[in-house]
Structure formats: C-alpha cells, structure tokens
Amino acid sequence: MVSRVIPVDPFDLVVFGGTGDLARRKILPGLFRRFCAGQMPAEAQIIAAARSEMDAEGYRKMVRDAINEFDGQRPDECPELENFLSRLNYVQVDAQGDGGWQELKEMLRKDTVKAFYFSVAPSLFGDIAERLKNKGLAKRDARIVVEKPFGRDLASAQALNKSLAAYFNEDQIYRIDHYLGKETVQNLMAVRFGNMLFEPLWNSQYIDHIQITVAETVGVGGRGGYYDKSGAMRDMVQNHLMQLLCLIAMEPPSRFEPGAVRDEKLKVIRALEPVEPHHIARGQYDAGAGEAGYREHAEDPRSRTESFIALKCHISNWRWAGTPIYLRTGKRLKARTSEIAVVFKETPHSIFDEDAGRHRNILTIRLQPNEGMELGVTIKEPGPGGMRLVDVPLDMSFSDALGPDADEVPDAYERLIMDVIRGNQTLFMRGDEVEAAWAWTDPIIQGWETRNEVPKLYDPMSSGPEDALMLMHRDGRKWREIKA
Ligand code: NAD
C-alpha cells in the first residue's frame, strides 16, 4: 500500500503560547513530522507568540530540545531538523496589552494562508481575537484554532463563542478535539458509510448496546488542583466521549463535508435524553499501588470531583430507541485503552443444541493502543466433536494492514493542523455542537451538586467502582474488560 502525501499551500502559522507545554509536546513536534513527510512546504513560516522574552535563536533551541524529547523519531531518521528550525520565528506579545502586535504584523506575509493557534488559557481567547481583528492582522480568510476546555458549562461556552464571534465568522473558527483527528475515528466513518455490510444492521433492531471506554492508568498527579475544578464529566465526557458517540450514532451525512457532518452530529446530541441519576456511577481513586489517592492529589480532603464516571445514555430517535450507549472513563484504571464496542444482538433463534452456547458479534474499534478494528464472528470450533461454536476475531490492526506505511499515519494533532491550513472544518467542533453538549451535561452536574453526591472510592489499577459494574449487571450486561 502506498501512502500519498499531498503538500499543503505555503502558510504563516502563529502559535500564541508557543513556549507552553502543549506547543512543545504536540504542536511543534507534529509540525516537524509533517515537514519530514513533505507535507509542510519549505516556504511555510511558524511564528511563536508568547509572553517570555526571547529571540528567534532562543526559540529554535527550545524547539530543538522539545523535538529531541517528545518526537518519536530518531534524529537520523529525518535530517531536516535544521531546515525545519529555520522556518521558525519568535515574537514577544502581550495578549492583553499592545506590546508586540506591530512586530507580529510585520512578520506576516501577504498572500499566504494565515492561521492563528490559540494555545493559551481560554481566558485569553477573547483578548487575542479582538487584537487580531482590530490591529488588522486577520483578514476574512484567516483561521483561528482554539483548544479545550471550551467552557466549563453552557453559560461560559456561550460567552466564549460570543467573544470569538464578535471578530470572526464561524467558518474561520476551528475548535480542536484531538480525538477527531485519530486515524481510527475517521476510519469509523469509512467503515460505516463506505460499506454496505454494516449500515443495514446499524440500529436498535440488531444492536443490543454500545460501550465507549477511555481508560487511563495515570492519576491526576501534579495537575490535581486544576483537574479538581473540572472532573471526568467535564474533562472527557462532554467533549471526547460525546464526539465518539456522535460519530457512532449519527445518520449518514449527504456528503463528507463540514456542514453536513456537523449537522448530523448536532442532531445526535440534541436527541440525547437527560440521564437518570441511577444511570450514573462516579468514583475517585483511592491511595495504593505506590501512589497517593485522588483527594491528596487534588489537595482537598473533601473534594467531590470524580476521577471516574460511567453512564448509560439513550438517544431518542427511530434508529436508537431501546439501544443504550454506555460511556465510561477514568484515571488510575488497570490499563490505558480507548475503544468503542458495538455489541450486536444474539440470533433470534438458535438452530444448534444448547452445548453450542449463545453467541453475539462484537465490532470493536480500538483508538489506543494499537489502533484498529476487530469484528468477532462465530464459527464452528475446528475438528471433530460435533457442532460447537466459538468466537474468532477478524482483526484489522493498522500496523498489519498498512505495513511500513503505518508509521506514516499522522498523529491527531498533525492531521488537524494540516486540515486548518487546507481550510477543512469537517473534523472540528462547531459552536452549536459544543453548546448542545453542555446543555446536556449541565443538568447532570447540577444534579450531583443539589444532591450533595460524593463519588465512591475505587482501587487503583482496577476497573472502577462497584457501582459501575452494577450499572451493567442490572441490565443483564457486562463491561468489556479493560486491557491494553
Ligand atoms: P502553558 O501554561 O504551558 O503555556 C501557556 C502559554 O501562554 C505560554 O507560552 C505563555 O507564554 C503564554 N501566555 C500566557 N499569558 C500570556 C499573555 N498574557 N500574553 C501572551 N502569551 C501568554 O499552557 P499549555 O499547557 O500549553 O496549554 C495551552 C492551552 O491548551 C490551554 O488552553 C490548555 O487548556 C490547552 N490544552 C493543553 C493540553 C496540554 O497537554 N498541555 C492539552 C489539551 C488542551
């Protein structure tokens, strides 16, 4: 299989917060990989704009160190590092004042695509948007990229949207959810809408339930104070899990283009029913396995923020009525894994005797580790001994299917940044989607607050609290094992 790299047009990319953690760990190493792959053209320019006093040489050194630390490639695999670094520039800018904006304006070239990446705290989004517009840096074709968290409830998300909409049109705003940039997530759309095989079965008549799991082994560690203001519902469910749910449940869009795809995702969110309190299990990891517990990490012995959540959702439309979707995410769990499992119903009648057992097909979409898909099918156990049935996987892991080209699959950030330059918003969240997701999330969180609910403790390196297991058991179902 031959992968095709289509270079993007020359561009000026300004990274506000270019000295920050996200820029050094993800954005710059990602751009370097696209440069090595021949996708970022040599005429492109990346300008870091941040608060620190620094010159271009100092910034290049910072990025060289970051690439050495965070990029998976060995330096000898891409001899282009110095060429890439020569494309970098730096300007000291005060997002809330006047300093640096004129210098930045002079660095920008005429007639190139311009993108402004807001890799800064959301409280600065409005200030930067205002200055870009008022100081004449952003024309009608400029794009801005904003990071999560996009609000902490509906009101704050609306306020953020408003502060951006005052200076930019919706078709200029790229709200990043890096889950949407994952190869498997896009493959999910290819599998659903590029094959005849699945679509006729993709409804409550044939699908018993769907499970979406995003499990991490790490705790909140040094980010405890920050995380404690958010929790698993805000940090993971409202955005990443919600986006996965949309892609798995949406109707086929008329075309694979931004408006059509985002319209269908929005309809799913709006069709989500409010979640019953007894359909939710929240947890906090306990101390153990050589680490402190959540409350110590959060530095609040009375914290009520959840580091784990499981919930059962219903989508009220013709396709999904009666098929629950279970979401589960948490920290300090027994393995780092993200997957979507579509569990089909059993055959309506078994022609085999009882010894053959009852079986069901499961389509598993693995986001990490080892991105790929697996379809469990039931066959006869080979050999003599009568008709005994066994489930075997039809496995498609990308590294097997693509061979050496699998290494060329861009990471989520790389792909999304290239989409910004191309002006393709399909894999970015629209303002109304984000607001609809908060409108569904807010009453759930408000419910815990009104009822003064305390999350249940769970053992580190476990599958989460007992309540989460019960959520499934009550329905006669069980979670898939959390394993790498
Ligand atoms: P950081 O604190 O490491 O970096 C902040 C950057 O903003 C620095 O470059 C700093 O110079 C710049 N800055 C701060 N105030 C400024 C001002 N007044 N004027 C100009 N520049 C200013 O933050 P980070 O971890 O890189 O996160 C950036 C954004 O990305 C945040 O919105 C965060 O929520 C989001 N995010 C981060 C990660 C991550 O892994 N770090 C993941 C997802 C989302």
User: Going by C-beta distance under 8 Å and a sequence separation of 6 or more, which residues neighbour residue 32?
Assistant: 63, 67, 71, 78, 81, 84
Q: How confident is the model at residue 385, as a pLDDT? A: 76
pLDDT at 73: 62
* Count of CA atoms in the C-beta half-sphere (13 A) of 419: 24
Question: Beta 173-175 vs 325-330: how paired, if at all?
Answer: unpaired
> Which of 132, 92, 91, 134 has its CA nearest to residue 114?
132
Residue closest via CA to ligand 1's atom 41 equals 22
- Closest ligand 1 atom to Cα of 95: 19
Mutate to test the pocket of ligand 1, among 59, 119, 152 (most ligand atoms within 8 A of CB): 119
Amino acid 405: pLDDT: 65
Say how far apart CA 248 and CA 159 lie, in whole Å. Answer: 29
Pocket lining for ligand 1, CB < 6 angstroms: 17-23, 50-52, 93-96, 119-122, 124, 147-149
End-to-end CA distance of the chain: 27
Give the residues across from 363 on adjacent strands: 342, 375
Read off the pLDDT of residues 89-123 as tens digits, 9 standing for 90 and up: 999 999 999 999 999 999 999 989 999 999 999 99
Ligand 1 atom having least distance to the Cα of 48:
9
Q: Residue 51 C-alpha to ligand 1 middle, in angstroms?
A: 10
* 314 among known catalytic residues: no
Residue 356 has a pLDDT of: 80
Q: Is 175 helix (H, G, I), strand (E, B) or coil?
A: strand
pLDDT digits (tens, 9 = 90+) for 313-349: 999 999 999 999 999 999 999 999 999 999 999 999 9
Residue identified by tokens 């579509």 is 342
CA distance 426 to 420: 10
Which of 15, 16, 22 for a ligand 1 pocket mutation test, highest count of atoms within 8 Å of Cβ? 22
Chain center to CA of 404? 25
pLDDT, residue 396, reads: 74
Contact 93, 124 (CB under 8 A): no
CA of 226 to the centre of ligand 1 (A): 13
Distance from Cα 119 to the centre of ligand 1, integer Å: 5
Residues of the chain with pLDDT under 50: 2
- Of 178, 209, 240, 297, the catalytic one is 240
Instruction: Report pLDDT for 354.
Output: 81
Q: What 3-state class would DSSP assign to 327?
A: strand
Between CA 314 and CA 249 the distance in angstroms is: 11
